[in-house]
């Protein structure tokens, strides 16, 4: 497999989630990709404010908000999460305006650990869907999206809707307890471990043109259900084919 050369990866700690250990994510990248320089920066906005990047076009940012889509209520209650959903491609394009030319080439990859909710349009059912990840330059891993985008267990989702409609907070609390651990919550201590696989999906997309893997136990698996996402990420493995790509990236193997 022909791999694109990657010299540097820049992570941006835009999410203020206390459960997210961004330095652990940088260290993970450095361990798997020792030939690539890995950098952790503050939030995208901080970098812009310090004059290290030009400001993204505010009109482009505002235009990236999708009108008429209500964000999930649990996400909106979080500090630092805007109560809107962004078009993932338009948001990335607005942020790309702010990349320094010397760091904007294909040998550099920027990944925003975003506090924003992102969505893309799905032709197959003519709807917008929340996403965990957009592979682009910059790539966006939506930290609240890891909680909100993959579906929760069907039984839980149906019962929760019913209890909400009937305004039964005690029943909701009981339900949450019964299903505890089967899906990510905001502030979940598994958030960092799960995010590792998503930053690697962005890295693989850059290296090989392919982000996702059909093997449900590989970290690159594009899970649509919370339980599948947790199984793929907490298992902490790459399938044989993708482990071979990582091996080929080690110094002296290229
Ligand atoms: Zn794989």
Mean pLDDT of 104-120: 94
Enumerate residues with CB within 5 Å of ligand 1 (an ion). Answer: 213, 215, 218, 220, 239, 242
**239 CA to centre of ligand 1 in angstroms:** 4
Instruction: Flag whether pLDDT at 154 surpasses 90.
Output: yes
- Domains of the chain (ranges; CATH) run 8-248 (3.40.390.10)
Question: Residue 53 and residue 46: Cα distance in Å, rounded?
Answer: 9
The per-residue pLDDT of the chain, averaged, comes to 91
Beginning with the edge strand found earlier in the chain, give each strand of the sheet holding 85-87 in spatial order.
Answer: 85-87, 117-122, 127-131
**219 CA to centre of ligand 1 in angstroms:** 7
Q: What is the pLDDT of residue 99?
A: 84
pLDDT in tens, 75-105: 877 777 788 999 999 999 988 888 888 999 9
| Residue 19, number of CB atoms within 10 A of its CB | 16
**139 CA to centre of ligand 1 in angstroms:** 19
Torsional sign, CA 41, 56, 52, 135: positive
Candidate from 75-79, 88-92, 162-166, 234-238 with smallest mean pLDDT: 75-79
For residue 35, what pLDDT band results from cuts at 50, 70 and 90? very high
**39 CA to centre of ligand 1 in angstroms:** 25
For residue 52, what pLDDT band results from cuts at 50, 70 and 90? low
Per-residue tokens: 152:
């929760």
**2 CA to centre of ligand 1 in angstroms:** 17
Residue 198 has, within 13 A of its CA and on its CB side, a CA count of: 29
CA distance readout (Å), 247 to 4, 130, 139, 142, 254:
14, 33, 23, 28, 9
Instruction: Flag whether pLDDT at 112 surpasses 80.
Output: yes
**168 CA to centre of ligand 1 in angstroms:** 43
Q: Whole-model pTM? A: 0.92
Instruction: Flag whether pLDDT at 147 surpasses 90.
Output: yes
Q: What is the pLDDT of residue 125?
A: 86
């Amino acid at each position: 497999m022909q791999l694109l050369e990657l010299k540097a990866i820049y992570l941006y700690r835009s999410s203020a989630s206390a459960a997210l250990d961004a330095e652990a994510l940088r260290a993970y990248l450095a361990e798997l990709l020792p030939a690539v320089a890995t950098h952790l920066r503050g939030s995208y906005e901080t970098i812009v404010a310090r004059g290290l990047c030009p400001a993204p076009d505010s009109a482009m940012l505002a235009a990236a908000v999708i009108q008429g889509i209500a964000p999930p209520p649990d996400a909106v209650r979080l500090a630092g999460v805007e109560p809107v959903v962004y078009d993932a491609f338009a948001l990335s394009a607005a942020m790309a305006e702010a990349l320094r030319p010397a760091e904007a080439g294909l040998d550099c990859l920027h990944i925003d650990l975003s506090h924003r909710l992102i969505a893309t349009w799905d032709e197959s059912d003519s709807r917008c869907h929340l996403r965990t990840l957009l592979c682009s330059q910059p790539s966006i891993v939506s930290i609240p999206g890891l909680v909100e985008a993959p579906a929760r267990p069907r039984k839980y989702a149906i019962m929760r809707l019913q209890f909400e409609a009937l305004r039964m907070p005690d029943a909701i609390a009981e339900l949450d307890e019964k299903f505890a651990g089967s899906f990510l919550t905001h502030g979940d201590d598994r958030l960092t471990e799960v995010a590792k696989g998503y930053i690697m999906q962005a890295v693989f997309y850059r290296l090989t043109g392919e982000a996702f893997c059909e093997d449900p136990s590989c970290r690159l698996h594009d899970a649509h259900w919370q339980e599948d996402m947790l199984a793929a990420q907490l298992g902490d493995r790459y399938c044989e084919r993708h482990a071979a790509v990582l091996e080929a990236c080690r110094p002296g193997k290229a």
